Amino acid sequence: MIRNSILILLIAGMAWILFQEFSAYHGADKLNSISEYYAKNAPTETGAANLVTAIVVTYRGFDTLGEVTILFLTAAIIGFMISTGKKTDRKPEQSNSELLETASNVLLPILILVGVYIFINGHLTPGGGFLGGAVLASAIILWLMSATGPKISHALLEVTEAFSGFGFVILGVLGIVLAGGFLDNKILHLGTFGTLLSAGAIPVIYSLIGLKVGAELSKIIIVLNQTQGEEK
Amino acid sequence: MVNPVYIIAVLLSVSFLLGLFRKPGSDFARLAALITLAFPAIVSVSWLLQFLGEPTSPFIIYTAGSVPPFSINLKMGIEEAFLTSAVNILGFFGFLYLYRTFKESGVSAVVLFLVLVMGLNVVIMTRDIFNLFVFLEITSIALIGLIFLKKDINAVSAGFKYLIAVSVISTILLLGIGFIYYFAGTLNIDDFVSKNSGAVKGMSTAVFLVIIAVLLELKPFPANGWGLDVYQSAHPGISAMISAGMATASLFVLYKILPFGAVYWMQIIAAVGVITFVGSNMLGIAQKNANRLLGYSSIGQIGLMVGIIGFSPMLGKHLWMVFFGLFISHFLAKAGLFWLSGMIGKENIKSWSVLRKQPLLLIAFGVFAFALIGFPPFPSFFGKWQLVMDLAAHGQFGWIVAILLGSMLEGVYLFRWLGYAIKLDVEADQKLDLGIEKLIPVGVFALMLFGASHFAIENVPGGLTLNLIPVYFILLLFVLDFLPAKIKNSIAILGMAYYAWLLYPSLQDDTLRLVFAGIFLVGGVLTLFAGYSVKGKRAGFYPFAIMMYAGLIGLVEAKNLLQFFFAWELMTLGSYVLIIRGKKSLVHAYNYMLFSLGGAYLIFLGMALSVAGQHGLSLSLLNTTHFPGWAYTLLAIGFLTKTAALGLHIWLPGAHAEAESDVSPMVSGILLKGGAFGLIVLFLAMGAEKAGGHPLLYALGWLGAITAVGGNLMAVFQEDAKRLLAYSSVGNLGYILFAFAFMTNVGWLTGLTYSINHFLFKTLLFLAIGGVVMRVKTHNMYEMGGLIKRMPWSFIAVLIGIITLAGIPPLSGYAGKWLFYNAVITKGWYFQGAMVFFSGTIAFLYCFKLIYSIFLGQEKDKFRKVKEVPVWYILPQFILIIGIMVFSARPDLVLKPIGALLSQAGYFPTDPLTWENVTASTNLGYWSGYKIMLVIGVMFVTLLTWLLVMSRKAQKVKQFNIVYSGERPFTPETTHFSHNMFAPYYKALGFLTIPVVTSFWEGVNSTAHAFADSFRKIYSGNGQTYIAHILAYIIIVYLIIF
Amino acid sequence: MKYFNIEYISMATGLFLFLVGLWGIISQKNIIKIIISFSVLDTSIHLILVSIGYIRNKTAPIIDGVVSKTDAATKIVDPLPQALVLTAIVIGVGVTALMLTYALRMYSENKTLEINKYKSLKW
């Protein structure tokens, strides 16, 4: 009883603080100065049609680098923590339904294609590297669950992850050497606005991010999968 | 200069690539990581050197080919260069320390470590708050992964609690950042400050959320249970990274976002910091687990630094110096202590005695502990000094008291721990991991502390006035510690003698200081002579003995408050180590240190009150304090802890009695005079004669009288020879205090005569008795007896000693008594004077007991064959005897010049002692030491010759040839009247010796521990509760502000 | 009533969900439920951030048929908070995965998922 009332008090206190913010909030009618700058200049400076992509990959590319690192860390930690168990692949406890097998045979290539499409076109349409990578990862999970086709090579995922991350950093450093600063996308030609091969290095970076995210999320799922069936 | 962004690029690319090396070649991965970690350190340090060399403007690192606020930027200024250097050097050595651990854990852990260092660099350098959020997440997650290096369930659950706590905090931070963006329209720190949009409603709440999240990261008290569990359960190498590395970055984040907040935030931050410092240290005193204790200490110290950030308006341009002093001490010492903990491997603080297997490590422990507490020469001493002085200048005495209280609590647990390490027995199965990869970081960090000390001394106001020659001499002795004792002894003696010769010209005119300098230096040389009798190396003795003397002489030389306090602390440090060397001295040295620390802080507070914003630091500021009552009382009590006035005396008997044979004369005869000198400085500052009727002096007079009676009375009932002498010192110092409190010319002459006498006879007695105890191997007087036959020289020495002590003519004690009569009658303090006379009579009792029980009476079987004490003990004793004789016969040699000084205008011009050749007179009578000596000397020689002649015809009888009441004794014990000799007196007056004071202090001690013990139960272990603590903290602070 | 506009509703929902998430964290005993509460908390933050970026009557910040390069500044919502949310989502995913792994390890050692059974380290 006492415990619950204290908890209620705590939530009430936080609610009071949050209410202050709510009462001060009144939406907005126009962009602030920074966003206005982005709206006016980002398409010409970066060559990207999707302004969010321009911000994520170029203007605030450093944050994206951090974000990618976090995913990398998470995958590493999970691998670190789970690796103390046995590395057995899960044996399917029951044979998979034919429905799943057939459906996955059809869906798998489509999913992979969709994922790749999303991250390649990140500078033109909504989505980008993270979304594409997540779709790729779901393709791999489907592959895993249906147990069709060749086993997923752990080494391939590791190599993809390592080189795409490394590539991202190298592109950033190239930005210093060849263009205006770290992670400047003008190291590649800006091309014609609105086409696939435009926006300088943005598609390349987003592709690398897509691959990296896909590899990492898959790796996490695979590692967690290997713990299933461990009886202790 | 290398663009700092390459630090990030290199660390990240190596981390990503190392993912390829998971299975094979883990050795290659580790080596590559180590080499990679050298790169950031080199880059940061090169930037730091550049900034220190010439004033350069900070380097801004732009990204994305664009400018802030549209893109993210980093900055490398002097602060960033310093902090990243610290973090990167820690990263390099931290990795080296964990080298073997990483072998077992695999490449993932190595990668986590690299990313951690990278994250810390960005957190320090970034100028964008969302970027800050992302990289704070990175460092937290990397740390959480590294916690798993130790795979036990404790580590895992601690990691989980840390994870959920940090997640809640970072969510609050993100919420705040979002709303700041809404109201201010920017995410860049510099842009925000220039837009100055603080007036918008709702903005203050958003800023509140951000600042409180940053504060919570720093683990404020009491919302920090989640942090403590991690400190306890993680691998110590990782705890070092958290305590030193993460704290560095988080503190700088707080400093960076300070401009976001309105002015009232300064007070809040200061309060959060100081409350954390006091609270965390308070709970630490009940802690027995080494790593958890280090956790409490870390949180406390970081709290102090948060407080310093909050005090920045008051510190002004001293902010960086103060912060540097305390920060670098915490940074280097905490990392070192955690590293040592990893080498020891056991959890209990008592296991640290295993460090004695590698004495260099024990010294490292001492260095780290003293650096944390704030002893000189370490930077924390200067940081605290300047902090207190600046706070005093703004009248913030409440904060000063809190800070000193927190420091005192820190001392309580650190010195207990250090004592355990130095004195406790080592269990047989305890191992010490002495891998070279672990020794190097510890050693490097300990040495860096000294480098940092040098830097701090150069930068603190007044620091350049410090006389560092003695400090260098001490360091020399450290380096030469491998030499045999006799060589070091000679070096020490020669060094002190040379210093005395150097010092003499400057002190010639100030006879007061000359007397004390003589006591300290000449006494030092004499007591060091006894050291020649020790065989072997006597490791760790000489640096600290010289340290004590350096402190003492520093007191005499001091012309400003900083020099004085520096010397005071140096003296305390040296004497503590000397005292703890005694076999049974663990508890006594600890008590000594606690009282000394408390006294030192009272002195510090008194000095702060005196300066209180006035310009400069000269000693004369004590004359012009705004708060005379408080300042003088605090200073007086502080000095009295060193002279062991009644109420503050309980440490003395144990410390002096249990110390080694040649240390007891040093501490009893010489060290106590340090406190007496402090009192002299204080009384002169109070105005000398003009302060005559001050109530404080009246109270001190009473205290002196009571101490004299109490000390002497307790000495009477002692069976332990050295304890008897120790209590006698308590009493003697009571006389001295009483005499100085008179504030008259003759009164001060009395005090000075007593001081010189006490030095002469106490040193003599302790040397003699110390030598006897060394031979006989027991302290108990009733076990000794009849030793006059075996130790005739010691007998003569003790005889002279007690004659001087008791004040019997012709020796100089009588001079003191004569002056005393005059002083009391002229001053009019009759009742107190009577008490002091009474105590003098009591002194006869124990003097007699001393010489009778040991030298006269019956020889015991055990000691029929003992040898005389070593010649190296006898030599200084006889030099002292010669000194006594000279002083007794020609007191005018010393007293005339002192009298002349004291009669000057600033001192005590009224009623001086007048001299006619060798005869002194006041308006009450006259006295000539020379004539008395002559008369009594002739009488003595005559009687002695007659006795010697007569005794030729005496018949020698065997020892047991005594029969009374028809009984013939067989054993000496039954005929030696010594044990409980003064039983009737005990029945009469024993009630005065009930250990009331001891019970009082024990009560204080147990209350503090009980409080700490019960209060720390708020850390219930339940992670959810800790989150509730966090929320409660947020709400309470919010309500306080708004 | 202006409060029925989308931005107020979403902001209010976001703040409300924040409180729900917090409530779950401090009151639920099962570790998995605590982790789910964290998910709710994260989602609420994303919602709040997006609401902060909303500009009334404007559309997505992509240059295509509807929005041209020249008048972009008058037709789009604020792209910056959307970028922040992208980052925050990924961070949230990582942290959730980490928490689940920790829960897994704790369960395999102690066979319980009650948070208050993990009190081995205290005071």
Residue in this structure with the two tokens 């460092």, named with its chain if needed: B139
Give the separation between CA B640 and CA C110, rounded to whole angstroms: 58
What sign does the dihedral B882-B885-B890-B894 (CA atoms) show? Answer: positive
**Roughly what angle, to the nearest 10 degrees, separates helices B586-611 and B651-658?**
130
Strands of B516-656 (E only): list them. Answer: none
The total number of residues written for chain A in this structure: 232
Does the pLDDT of residue A231 top 50, yes or no? no
Domain residue limits at C26: 6-117
Give the separation between CA B736 and CA B713, rounded to whole angstroms: 17
Pairing of strands B59-62, B914-916: unpaired
Q: Mean of the pLDDT values across residues B9-23?
A: 84
What sign does the dihedral B979-B981-B987-B992 (CA atoms) show? Answer: negative
Does the pLDDT of residue B692 top 70, yes or no? no
CB atoms B16 and A7 under 8 Å? no
* Chain A neighbors (3+ CB pairs < 8 Å): B, C
Burial class (CB in 10 A: 0-12, 13-18, 19+), B401: middle
Give the separation between CA C38 and CA C99, rounded to whole angstroms: 10
The predicted structure's pLDDT at residue B905 = 67
Do B239 and B227 form a contact (C-beta atoms < 8 A)?
Answer: no
Does the pLDDT of residue A22 top 70, yes or no? yes
Give the separation between CA B607 and CA C10, rounded to whole angstroms: 61
List of chain C residues whose C-beta atoms are within 8 Å of the C-beta of residue A21: 15
Q: Which residues contact A153 (CB under 8 A, 6 or more apart)?
A: none
Give the separation between CA B449 and CA B373, rounded to whole angstroms: 13
Per-residue 3-state assignment (H helix, E strand, C coil) for B400-414: HHHHHHHHHHHHHHH
Residue C60 lies in a domain: yes
Q: Mean of the pLDDT values across residues B2-12?
A: 89
Higher pLDDT, B962 or B293: B293
Do B920 and B789 form a contact (C-beta atoms < 8 A)?
Answer: no
- pLDDT confidence of B923, banded at 50, 70, 90? confident
Q: Which amino acid is at B994?
A: I
Does the pLDDT of residue A92 top 90, yes or no? no
Considering only B327-331, B693-697, B747-751, which range has the smallest mean pLDDT?
B693-697
Closest CA to B90 of B120, B60, B110: B120
Q: Domain tally for chain C?
A: 1
For A101-137, letters b (16+ CB in 10 Å) and e give eeebeebbeebbebbbebbbbbbbeebbbbbbbbbbb
Give the separation between CA B399 and CA B315, rounded to whole angstroms: 13
**Coil, helix or strand for A180?**
coil
The predicted structure's pLDDT at residue A232 = 43
CB atoms C7 and A32 under 8 Å? no
Domain boundaries, chain A: 33-231
Does the pLDDT of residue B862 top 80, yes or no? no
Q: Mean of the pLDDT values across residues B369-383?
A: 91
Does the pLDDT of residue B907 top 80, yes or no? no
**Coil, helix or strand for B780?**
strand
Q: Is C32 on the interface with A (CB under 8 A)?
A: no
The predicted structure's pLDDT at residue C20 = 94
Q: What is the DSSP letter of B150?
A: S
The predicted structure's pLDDT at residue B53 = 85
Do B542 and B481 form a contact (C-beta atoms < 8 A)?
Answer: yes
Closest CA to B143 of B247, B41, B213, B43: B247
Do B336 and B328 form a contact (C-beta atoms < 8 A)?
Answer: no
Interface ipTM above 0.90 = yes
Q: Mean of the pLDDT values across residues B944-948?
A: 90
Does the pLDDT of residue A88 top 60, yes or no? no
Q: What is the DSSP letter of B744?
A: S
Does the pLDDT of residue A26 top 90, yes or no? no
* CA atoms within 13 Å, Cβ hemisphere of B1041: 24
Give me B651's structure tokens. 């440490």
Do B329 and B452 form a contact (C-beta atoms < 8 A)?
Answer: yes
Higher pLDDT, A42 or B565: B565
Chain B: residue whose CA lies nearest to A25: B202
Tell me the CATH number at C25.
Answer: 1.10.287.3510
Closest CA to B678 of B619, B627, B735: B619
CB atoms C121 and B144 under 8 Å? no
CB atoms B153 and C109 under 8 Å? yes
Give the separation between CA B747 and CA B756, rounded to whole angstroms: 14
Q: Is C61 on the interface with A (CB under 8 A)?
A: yes
Does the pLDDT of residue B691 top 70, yes or no? no
Give me B454's structure tokens. 């040098």
Among B154, B1017, B1024, beta carbon nearest to C120: B154
Residue C122 lies in a domain: no
The predicted structure's pLDDT at residue B409 = 93
Give the separation between CA B301 and CA B266, rounded to whole angstroms: 18
* Dihedral in degrees, nearest 10, Cα atoms B405, B408, B413, B417: 170
The predicted structure's pLDDT at residue B576 = 93
Give the separation between CA B472 and CA B475, rounded to whole angstroms: 5
Q: Is C36 on the interface with B (CB under 8 A)?
A: no
List of chain C residues whose C-beta atoms are within 8 Å of the C-beta of residue B158: 121
Does the pLDDT of residue B910 top 50, yes or no? yes
Burial class (CB in 10 A: 0-12, 13-18, 19+), B861: exposed
Q: Is C11 on the interface with A (CB under 8 A)?
A: yes
What sign does the dihedral A121-A124-A130-A135 (CA atoms) show? Answer: negative
Q: Mean of the pLDDT values across residues A166-191?
A: 82
Residue C123 lies in a domain: no
Do B372 and B410 form a contact (C-beta atoms < 8 A)?
Answer: yes
**Coil, helix or strand for B910?**
coil
Instruction: Quote the percentage of chain A above a pLDDT of 90.
Output: 12
List of chain C residues whose C-beta atoms are within 8 Å of the C-beta of residue A141: none
Give me B408's structure tokens. 């005192």
Q: Which residues contact B233 (CB under 8 A, 6 or more apart)?
A: B147, B150, B152, B154, B155, B158, B291, C121
Instruction: Quote the percentage of chain B above a pLDDT of 90.
Output: 31
Does the pLDDT of residue A104 top 60, yes or no? yes
In this prediction the pTM is 0.91
Mean pLDDT over the full length of chain B: 87
Does the pLDDT of residue B577 top 50, yes or no? yes
Distance from CA of A198 to the nearest CA of C (A): 14
Among C26, C45, C52, beta carbon nearest to B171: C45
Per-residue 3-state assignment (H helix, E strand, C coil) for A8-29: HHHHHHHHHHHHHHHHHCCCCC
Instruction: Quote the percentage of chain B above a pLDDT of 70.
Output: 98
Longest Cα separation, chain C: 64
The predicted structure's pLDDT at residue C91 = 93
The predicted structure's pLDDT at residue B600 = 93
Closest CA to A205 of A94, A58, A105: A58
The predicted structure's pLDDT at residue B155 = 86
Give the separation between CA B435 and CA B30, rounded to whole angstroms: 17
The total number of residues written for chain B in this structure: 1042
Interval A48-66: pLDDT, tens: 888 899 888 888 989 999 9
List of chain A residues whose C-beta atoms are within 8 Å of the C-beta of residue B208: 17
Q: Mean of the pLDDT values across residues B611-619?
A: 75
Give the separation between CA B604 and CA B606, rounded to whole angstroms: 5
Interval C54-100: pLDDT, tens: 888 888 888 877 777 777 778 888 899 999 999 999 999 999 999 99
CA distances from B349 to B294, B355, B588 (A): 10, 12, 19
Residue in this structure with the two tokens 């910040």, named with its chain if needed: C61
List of chain A residues whose C-beta atoms are within 8 Å of the C-beta of residue C23: 7, 11
The predicted structure's pLDDT at residue B909 = 75
CB atoms C100 and A74 under 8 Å? no
Higher pLDDT, B129 or A3: B129
Residue C84 lies in a domain: yes
The predicted structure's pLDDT at residue B482 = 82
Q: Which amino acid is at A146?
A: S
**Coil, helix or strand for B1019?**
coil
Pairing of strands B919-922, B73-76: unpaired
Among C103, C110, C116, beta carbon nearest to B153: C110
Chain B: residue whose CA lies nearest to A37: B70
**Coil, helix or strand for B738?**
helix
* CA atoms within 13 Å, Cβ hemisphere of C111: 2
Interval C103-114: pLDDT, tens: 888 888 888 888
Element (H, E) at B62: strand B59-62
